[in-house]
Amino acid sequence: MKKIKNRLFLIFVSLAFGSVPIIQAHANTTYVWTPSSSNWAGTIVLDTSSSTNGNLGDIVSASLTTPQGTFAYDPSTAFNDSIPAAIGAYFTWNSSQIYTMYIGWEAGPYQVTAFEISPEGGPNGIQVTGGNSNGNFIENGSWIALTTWTITIIASPSNGGTVSGSGSFASGSSQTVTATANSGFSFANWTENGSVVSTSASYNFTLNENVSLVANFTQNLASVTVNANPTAGGTVTGGGTYAVGSQAQISAAASRFYTFANWSDGNTDTPRTITVPSAGATYTASFSPTAVITFYDEAPAPNSREVGHAFLSIYSPVTGKTIYYGYYPSILNDLFLSPGEIDDDRYTQWDVNIAYPMTPAQYQAAAAKITQYLVSQPYYSLVGFNCMAFVASIASAAGIELPDYQLAGYGIASPAVFGLSLFDVGDGNITPDGGLVTVSDPPDPLTPIDYEYIGIVNEGETNAASLASFIGLPYDFVNLGAVNANNSNGITLSIIGASTNLAVIALNWGDKSSFQEQSLSFSHFYSNGTYTADLLIVDAGAVHLYTMTVTVSSSQASSITVNVTPFSPGSIPNQNFVPASFVPGFNVIEPTSIAVISNGQAIISFLGISNWTYTIDAASNLTQGFSPIGTATADTNGVFQYSDPEATNFTSRFYRASYP
C-alpha cells in the first residue's frame, strides 16, 4: 500500500447516489463501523425517517478515523471543484449500497470506499482505490446500527421557569429532564400531548421514541384583604386574589362626615399600588370623623303667631361632643330689639335639618364666630338679627352657603322659609354644596310668611296699639294731619331715624295700591280724591304709627319728612375678663375660670390633658385674633394655670390654651 502523505487539504464525504440531505428533528440511525484494527473506525448517521421507496434515508453526518486522522463529512459544506462532486445523501435498497468517502491528498485524490451498509449488516470492510492501491481491502469490520431519538422541551408559560435536558440521544438510554420555577411560580407537572406524565420537577424516563414535553408552571397566588375602620367611615376596594409579585391597586373612599386618614402600614395615598407578597397582605384603611355643623329648623305651628325657630349644633371629633346653640331675645316677647342670648338647644324639637362636614379650618372659623357672640352678644331683632340670621352668620363664617332662607323681597332671614327650602330638597338628599337633609316630621300645611313680616304689617295696620302690647314695645302714634298730593307730580315722603335692616317699614297709601315697604323714601301718584294713609314702623324701641289725610289737587305736591322718635334700648354691660373659647376646638382648651387678684393680674385656670404643655393665647380684640403670651404644663389631673401680669394694661382681654 502506498504511503499516504500527512498533509491533508480537503476532506468530505459523498454517496454514489442521492440528493442534498435534509436535516430534520427526527429519529436518526447511527451506523458504527467496528474494524479489526484499532486504527480504523467509521460512523454514519442516517435520517431513517426519510426512508421512502426502499431508501435507507438521508445522511446527517459521517466520519472516518484512519491512521492519518479523523475525517468528517458535513452535507451542508460546499465542495472543491477539483474533487469529484459528491451530491447525494441517501442509500437505496435496490442499488449498490456503498458509502464513499473521498479523501484528497497532495498526491491524490485517493478514494476510500466503505461499502455493504445494509439493513442486515452485510459484508464489511474498507478498500482503497486510486493511487497505488486499487481495490485492496485494508480493514475488515462490521456495521452496527444505533438508533437515536430527539427530546424537545418547552416551559409554559415561558416566564414560568427554565427547562433543561433537550437533545438527541440513543434509543433505550435513560434521560432526565429538569424544570426550575422562576420567582412567583411553582412547578406543576410534565405533560406530553396534553397528558400528565410526571409531577416531579426532575423527570427520568427511558428514551424509545421522539419525545415532546411541556413543563407546566403555575403562578403563585396570594390574597389581599382590605378593611375599613370604622366600617361606617368609608368604603375600600381592591381586595382579592392576585398573582404573587403582581401589582394591585387598592383605594379608600371616605363616607360623608369622615375623611381618609391612612392605611395600616402608615401609607396615606389613595388609590395606591402595592406589590403582592407571597404570604398575602391585609391593609386597613383608617377613617377619621370630620367636624359636623348641623342647622335645624322648627316650623311654626299652623295658624299661630309663631315665626318658627332655627338653631345649630357643632360636633367636634376631638372631644366627641355635640354642642347646640340657639339665639333668642333675652326679654320674652320682645322680638324687635332686645339683648340677645345664646341658649343650649339640645332639647329643642325640630322638623328638618341639614348637616355639613367641616374641615378643621371651617370648624375653627365657626367656633370663633360663636365665641364672638358669646363674648359680646348682639341685640335680637325679628327683622334684623334673629335666630335665622344668627344661624346664617355662623354658616357664612364657615364658608357654607345655606339653602334659601330669606323672605322674598325683604331680605329678612326667615326660619320658616329655611325649613320649606329643606323640605323641598327632601329627606336623605344632598344639596350641591354637600349638605345632607334629614326630615324628622313632614311639613305642616302652613303659610309661614303670613306669621312673620306680613303678619306683623297686617296686625299693625289693623291695630298698632295691640301689636305694641303683644310684642312688649311702647306705642308711638303721630297724626301728620292733612297733606296735598299734586295730580301731576304726586307726593313724596322721607324717613329719618329708622333702619331698613332693623325695622319693619310699611307705607299704606290708602288707595288700595300695594304697600311700599322697607325703604326710607317713597313717592306715589293718586287719582283725584281724598285718602287716609298711614306709615307703620316697628323698630328697636317702639311700634310707630304715622297717619295723614291726603287730598289730590293741582296745588304743589307735599314733601313730607317723618322723624322717627327714638326709644333707645339699654346698653350691654361691660364684659371685663371672660373665657373666650366656649366652643371646643380641635386643639383649643377653654378656661375653667378667670380671677383678677388685688394687683390687677389675671389668673386663668384650665383643664386639659395631664402632662401636656399648652400655649396660652390672648386677645384684646377678637376681630384681630389671638397671640401667644406664654406656656403652662398640666398636672397629673390635667389642671394648669397661667398668671397674666399684662392684664392690668387692658380693659378687657380674652384667653385660650392651645396644643401644641
Segment (H or E) for 374: helix 360-375
pLDDT band at 208 (very low <50, low <70, confident <90, very high): confident
Where is the domain boundary, 164, 191, 219? 219
∠ Cα 355 360 366 (to 5°): 60
How many domains, the chain?
Answer: 6
**67-87: average pLDDT:** 50
Q: Are residues 297 and 442 in the same domain?
A: yes
Q: Are residues 118 and 156 in the same domain?
A: no
**pLDDT above 70: percentage of residues in the chain:** 68
pLDDT value of residue 49: 62
Q: Are residues 606 and 651 in the same domain?
A: yes
**303-319: average pLDDT:** 77
Selected residue with higher pLDDT from 550 and 31: 550
Segment (H or E) for 71: strand 69-73
555 contacts: CB under 8 Å, gap ≥ 6: 484, 486
Give yes or no for a contact between 68 and 101, defined as CB atoms under 8 angstroms apart: no
CA 162, chain centre distance (Å): 41
574 contacts: CB under 8 Å, gap ≥ 6: 651, 652
| Diameter over CA atoms, the chain | 166
Q: Report the distance separating Cα 614 and Cα 624, nearest Å.
A: 21
pLDDT value of residue 249: 97
pLDDT band at 451 (very low <50, low <70, confident <90, very high): very low
- Does residue 572 belong to any structural domain of this protein? no
pLDDT value of residue 177: 97
Give yes or no for a contact between 226 and 283, defined as CB atoms under 8 angstroms apart: yes
Phi-psi region for residue 89, left (φ > 0), alpha (ψ -120 to 50) or beta? Answer: alpha
Q: Which of 340-344, 524-528, 554-558 has the lowest mean pLDDT?
A: 340-344
Q: What are the E-state strand segments in 452-569?
A: 475-486, 491-496, 504-508, 516-517, 521-524, 530-538, 543-553, 559-563
Segment (H or E) for 606: strand 602-607
pLDDT value of residue 471: 61
Selected residue with higher pLDDT from 485 and 349: 485
Q: Are residues 604 and 533 in the same domain?
A: no
Q: Report the distance separating Cα 500 and Cα 504, nearest Å.
A: 7
Selected residue with higher pLDDT from 215 and 47: 215
Residue 555, CA distances (Å) to 34, 233, 480, 483, 485 in order = 154, 77, 18, 11, 8
Selected residue with higher pLDDT from 651 and 551: 551
* pLDDT at residue 552 is higher than 70: yes
pLDDT band at 622 (very low <50, low <70, confident <90, very high): low
* pLDDT at residue 490 is higher than 80: yes
Amino acid 206 reads T
**466-492: average pLDDT:** 86
Q: Are residues 585 and 651 in the same domain?
A: yes
* pLDDT at residue 343 is higher than 60: yes
- Does residue 392 belong to any structural domain of this protein? yes
Q: Report the distance separating Cα 288 and Cα 372, nearest Å.
A: 28
Q: Are residues 203 and 247 in the same domain?
A: no
Q: Report the distance separating Cα 497 and Cα 439, nearest Å.
A: 43
- Does residue 571 belong to any structural domain of this protein? no
**Helices marked H in 573-656:** none
Q: Are residues 307 and 440 in the same domain?
A: yes
* pLDDT at residue 453 is higher than 50: yes
Phi-psi region for residue 330, left (φ > 0), alpha (ψ -120 to 50) or beta? Answer: alpha
Domain that holds residue 396: 292-447
pLDDT value of residue 140: 60
Q: What is the pTM of this model?
A: 0.50
Q: Are residues 337 and 460 in the same domain?
A: no
274 contacts: CB under 8 Å, gap ≥ 6: 224, 247, 248, 249, 250, 281, 283
pLDDT value of residue 4: 30
* pLDDT at residue 34 is higher than 70: no
Give yes or no for a contact between 260 and 228, defined as CB atoms under 8 angstroms apart: no
Q: Are residues 314 and 430 in the same domain?
A: yes
pLDDT band at 316 (very low <50, low <70, confident <90, very high): confident
Q: Which three cell numbers stand for residue 473?
A: 314695645
Selected residue with higher pLDDT from 144 and 94: 144
Classify residue 182 as exposed, middle or buried by CB count within 10 Å of its CB (0-12, 13-18, 19+). middle
**243-266: average pLDDT:** 94
pLDDT band at 595 (very low <50, low <70, confident <90, very high): confident
Buried b or exposed e, range 24-34, using 16+ CB within 10 angstroms: eebbbbbbebe
- Does residue 629 belong to any structural domain of this protein? yes
pLDDT value of residue 135: 52
Selected residue with higher pLDDT from 1 and 442: 442
pLDDT value of residue 518: 85
161-183 pLDDT tens trace: 999 999 988 878 899 999 999 98
pLDDT value of residue 435: 94
Q: Which of 242-246, 342-346, 568-572 has the lowest mean pLDDT?
A: 568-572
* pLDDT at residue 579 is higher than 60: no
**525-549: average pLDDT:** 90
Neighbouring CB atoms inside 10 A of 118's CB total 14
**94-104: average pLDDT:** 49
Selected residue with higher pLDDT from 9 and 553: 553
Q: Are residues 34 and 132 in the same domain?
A: yes
Q: Would the CA dihedral through 383, 386, 390, 392 be positive or negative? A: negative
Q: Are residues 305 and 383 in the same domain?
A: yes
Give yes or no for a contact between 252 and 260, defined as CB atoms under 8 angstroms apart: yes
Nearest to 381 by CA among 326, 325, 339: 339
Q: Which of 66-70, 352-356, 609-613 has the lowest mean pLDDT?
A: 66-70
Which neighbouring-strand residues pair with 217? 187
pLDDT band at 144 (very low <50, low <70, confident <90, very high): low
pLDDT value of residue 127: 52
pLDDT value of residue 499: 81
**629-648: average pLDDT:** 89
- Does residue 16 belong to any structural domain of this protein? yes
**100-121: average pLDDT:** 47
Where is the domain boundary, 258, 289, 320? 289
* pLDDT at residue 133 is higher than 60: no
**102-116: average pLDDT:** 46
Question: Can you state the percent helix, strand and coil of the chain, rounding each to 5?
Answer: 10, 50, 40
Task: Report the chain's C-alpha Rg in angstroms.
Answer: 54
pLDDT band at 11 (very low <50, low <70, confident <90, very high): very low
Where is the domain boundary, 119, 139, 159? 139
**pLDDT above 90: percentage of residues in the chain:** 38
Neighbouring CB atoms inside 10 A of 140's CB total 14
**Helices marked H in 60-105:** none
- Does residue 274 belong to any structural domain of this protein? yes
Average pLDDT over the chain, rounded to an integer: 77
Which neighbouring-strand residues pair with 288? 259
Between strands 639-644 and 8-15, the pairing is unpaired
Nearest to 488 by CA among 548, 529, 528, 533: 528
Q: Which of 214-218, 354-358, 378-382, 531-535 has the lowest mean pLDDT?
A: 378-382
- Does residue 1 belong to any structural domain of this protein? no
- Does residue 443 belong to any structural domain of this protein? yes
DSSP-assigned letter for residue 81: T
Neighbouring CB atoms inside 10 A of 136's CB total 11
Amino acid 535 reads L
Q: Are residues 280 and 327 in the same domain?
A: no
Q: Which of 92-101, 263-272, 326-335 has the lowest mean pLDDT?
A: 92-101
